Structure formats: C-alpha cells, structure tokens
Amino acid sequence: MRDSVFSMHGKTFLPLAACLLAVAVFAGGFGPGAAAAADGDWQRAGAEVRERSQEMRDDASAVRKDVAADRKQRAMTVGERRARVQALQKEYDALVRELDGLSKERGRLEADLGAEQAGMKALEGTIRQAAKDADKMLSGNPLATLAPERRDVVDRLLKDHAFPDTATIGALAEVFLAEIPLTRGVHLRQGAYIGPDGRQETGEILHAARFATFFRSQGGDIGVLEAGPDGAGLRAVLSALPRSVRSDVGDFLAGQGAALPLDVADGAAFRRLNAGGGMWEWLLSGGFLVWPILLVGVVGLGLGLARFITLGSSRAFSEKRMREIVDRVERREFSAAKEYCARGKKFPACRVLGRALDHVGLSQEILENALQEAILQELPRLERFLPSMQILAAIAPLLGLLGTVTGMINTFQVITLFGTGDPRMMSGGISEALITTQLGLAVAIPIMVLHHFLERRVDMVLGDMEQKGTAFAVTLLKAGAVVPHGDNVVLRGAEEA
C-alpha cells in the first residue's frame, strides 16, 4: 500500500512543476528581459524539479526497501504461524486419538466395574439369603440351644446392611457346618426348660436330631419340648403323651430300648396331639348342619339295622320243608299240611302256602289269585322302610353340599371384611365346607350299601315265595285238590243251571 502511494506522488509532481513554471513565465511578462528572466527561472525550476524528483526517487526507493522488508517480515511470520498451526493441529489430533483411547478404556473399565458390582451384589444377595436360611433353620429348632452363639452371628448379619467381610462369611459358614453333627445323632444332656406349668425346670433333655426333643423331669414326667419364640430356650409342648410313647421314651432313656418315636413333620404331629382335637371338636368345627346330617345317619342306620334283623329272620324256605308239605298234600292230608305251615310262620313262603291251602277244592284261577294276593300282602312287610332309607341316603350328601355352600359364603364374607392376609380367619368357613361334605358322604355311603343289601334280600325272599307258590299250585293241581280252568267253567255252568 505504501508503494502505491509513493508512485502516485511521483506521477503527479511533474505536472504540478510544469504548472508552477508556466505561472512564473506569465508573471514575468513577454519581453526579452522577461524571456531571459524566464529562462533563468526555468533553469532554476528545472533544477529544483530535478532535485525534488531525485529526492522523491530516493524516498520511493527507501519506501520500496521498507515495503520489501515488511513483506519479507510478514512472509516469515505467516510461515511460522502456519507451522505453529500445523504443529498444534498435530498435537490436537494426537490428543483426540488419546481421548478416544481413554474413552474406550473408560468404557471397558466401567463394564468391568459393572460386572464386578453385579457379581458383588449377587454374592451379597447369596450371603443374605444364606443368612435368612440360617435364621429359618435356627428358628423353632431345639438343636439351636446346643450352640446358642450361632443365633448372634445370624442376627448380626441380618441387621448389618454393609457388605459382610470375610470373617462374617466364615462365621456364617460355621453356623451351617455346626448343624451337621447335631442332626446326625441323638444327644442327651441335662438342661433347663419351661415346664407345662410355665415354670422353669431342670431335667434330662433328649435330642433325636431335629425329629423330636423329649424331656424327663426330676419327678419322672416325660414330654415333648419345642424351641421358644426367640429360639433361645425350650418349652414343654405336651406332658401327657400316650402311654406307648412315654414307655418307649422311658426305655430309651434307661438304655433298655432301641425304638424312639419321631416326628418327621418338624413337631407338627406332637403339636397336633397337644391341640387335643377330638371327634367332638371336629364336629363342632363343621357348623350347625352337622347335626341334621348326624340325625339322618342315626335314623338311616337304625332303620337299616331293624330291617336287617327282620329280613334276617325271614329266611328262604328250604327244599326239605317244601318236600314235607308236598308229601302231605299228595297224601291229601291238607289239615296236617296247614298245621305244618302254621308252625313255620317265620318263613314268608310258608305263610303263602298256608293261605293257598285255605283254597283247596276251588278252581285253579282262584288258587292263583290267592297266591298272588298272599305274595302282595307279604311284600309291604318285606319292603318296609326301604324307600325311607333310600331318601335318607340321598338327603345326607345334599345336606353336606348345603354345608359346603354356607361355609364358602362365610369364607367370602371374611375375605370381604378382612382380606386374605390371615388364612386362619378363613379356616372356620373352609372347615365347615369340608367337614359337612365329608360327613354327608360318610353317612350316605353306608346307608346306600345297607339299602342295596336289604333290597337284594327282599328280592331273594320274594323270588322264593313266587317259586314255591307256583310249584305248590302245580302240586295241588296234580293231586286233584284244585279244579282246572275248563272244568271249573263247566262245573259252574252246571251248578248255575
């Protein structure tokens, strides 16, 4: 820019000098003296112009040198800056590559850390679950009183929310390992426990693994022990064991027996014995419909027993007795045959034959009608109360079903009011539903079986009466004690005529 400015000054100075010279000529006039003066002035002006031009050229040359030096300086600065930029760019690229590598390394380390944290959480969860299992193992376990320090380890681990250290994990492992020898045999010791009367007593305590824990007091009483609510002590569950159980335990403690009663239900069987739920409690838990079902059962079984006795005495008429009556008829000893039938009134067939003998001498048709009438008279006596038993057998399960419905209604009412949080609150309705159904079936099945047996008995007696009656009619017809159908018609016609 400076070079261009100086060039512009050099080009405009010469016209300016010419103009100044012209002004000087015009100012001097147009005479000879003026011409001489003008010539001298022109020479001076030319000299000044040349001098001034030389100065300006010198200045322009100096300016050019300055511009060239400045350009050179600027060219060197741009190169340095470009080199600096290139160096910085390379450094930046290197830093970006390093950042990418560090980011990848960070991602890998974070993944490893996440895996390690997941593994640590899984390990902690396993340890916590093992602690809960240990707590469940010790809770209600009479063997826990043999090593009470194990409870402290488990409680401390359950209450401490920090990650357990190796010492705590080792102590937890020892809790499980200590249980193995305790559950592997029978342990007899002297110890304290809470007796049946609620007071602390001291006596012999026999641990049969986890299946049973018995005590024998100083007075000789034998009972069952269970772990207390806190698992720190033992208390009596049942002191009045059955005689056989007490005898076996006593013999085992005395070293005279090898059999020991066990409870594989983890004490549930002994607690059931302690509850003392007998038949009366079982019936009461079934609700009010138990009593109608029991009434149906008593009435049905009473009727069945009565009919069993009656039908048992109504035995079938033997062929020997039938032969004796037939022999008397064939000898036309009808009175003797009637007396024989009168002595055998406990046989329904004999009573039917006795009524047939009352119609000797009449027509065959009358005899057959008399036999049919006699059988029909015996039938109600044989089938008495059988329809009632059938009705009772059908009513009993229906009452049980009604009890099931009412029990389920009570259960749903309890669920509506209190929810399903406590299953024991629903046990009343469920017990009523199940017990009434069970009792109804237990009553109906025997009545139905007894009814079927009695019905078959009636069919057998009825068949015997029909068979003996038909055979007796044929005997009377052969003996001539009965007039055949055709002759009877002729005889009657002749008598009427």
pLDDT of residue 25: 46
pLDDT of residue 7: 45
pLDDT of residue 331: 80
pLDDT of residue 445: 94
Q: Region 266-295: what's the mean pLDDT? A: 70
Each residue's pLDDT tens digit, 360-402: 777 777 877 888 888 888 788 888 888 899 999 999 999 988 8
Indicate whether 159 pLDDT > 80.
yes
User: How high is the mean pLDDT of the chain?
Assistant: 76
Indicate whether 228 pLDDT > 80.
no
What is the CA 242 to chain-centroid distance, rounded? 36
Q: Region 463-481: what's the mean pLDDT? A: 78
Q: Region 263-292: what's the mean pLDDT? A: 68
pLDDT of residue 429: 66
Each residue's pLDDT tens digit, 6-48: 444 444 444 555 554 544 444 444 445 555 665 677 777 778 8
Lowest mean pLDDT among 35-49, 109-123, 351-365: 35-49
pLDDT of residue 447: 93
Each residue's pLDDT tens digit, 166-205: 888 888 888 888 888 877 778 788 888 887 777 788 888 8
Q: Region 125-147: what's the mean pLDDT? A: 81
Residues of the chain above pLDDT 70, percent: 79
Q: pLDDT-derived band of residue 129, with 50, 70 and 90 as boundaries?
A: confident
Instruction: Considering only residues 170 and 73, tell me which one the structure prediction assigns the higher pLDDT.
Output: 170
Indicate whether 424 pLDDT > 60.
no
Lowest mean pLDDT among 31-40, 103-112, 442-451: 31-40
pLDDT of residue 272: 60
Indicate whether 489 pLDDT > 70.
no
Indicate whether 269 pLDDT > 70.
no
Q: pLDDT-derived band of residue 298, with 50, 70 and 90 as boundaries?
A: very high
Q: Region 315-331: what's the mean pLDDT? A: 73
pLDDT of residue 294: 92
Indicate whether 276 pLDDT > 70.
no
Lowest mean pLDDT among 69-73, 199-203, 463-467, 482-486: 482-486
Indicate whether 488 pLDDT > 70.
no
